[in-house]
Structure 1
């Protein structure tokens, strides 16, 4: 069965889009293609007028595309700062030592930018669902996302 057929979707800086459709219409599939989770079998993706091949979420993040999935990718037992920088931990001069201060300061700057009254050391399990979603947004901003895709935000 074909999930997407003859799809055309254009974005411009500063725009907000909502995709609406019935269950099974391909909305989530399109979001996963645009964020590198799924690789399309045919067609092309143009990003900043150039064709790109998104083969993984990391390849999408590298060019500035981030996704927040329906199910959050947060670890409840870790702090907000640890969740934002997981897999991209900041290290001290010696490279084998984590730089908690740098991570905490960068996290606080992101939280301030989003006007959130959350501390970087707060455990994610202590946050409301809405606050957790904002942590996901902060996480996307931490990779300098130019395109932020939210798959069914605040569905719960």
Structure 2
């Protein structure tokens, strides 16, 4: 019996309080502004109401990754796996074997070309992810624009 009481008490403590939003704020926007709000809210995976509330309360919602960026993230994970496998393979070699391997120019050139490709893809992905999360200017006051809002 005590266990059931403890369980029900834990469940009631874990339940999130219900927030009743019954106040309405109305503002007029242009057709272009409405389209931008809809688009940005969709990109963030939010409803227009949640997006506008978040922005009004000073939050900066992050946009979801595009399909291209998700693909880049998957490729990055695969590259990491390749690098870990390479490091593990090197770890299993003796010092003399490592020296022979690193002195073998064709092997090192082939390895460098593959690593350069991976690092280029990582750089492209990181740059894409950073620019995708910026919030469009022109909807805040001048100070907020300078602060990057």
More contact order relative to length (CA 8 Å, sep ≥ 6): 1
TM-score (norm 1): 0.22
- Larger relative helix fraction: 2
Q: Say which one has the larger Rg.
A: 2
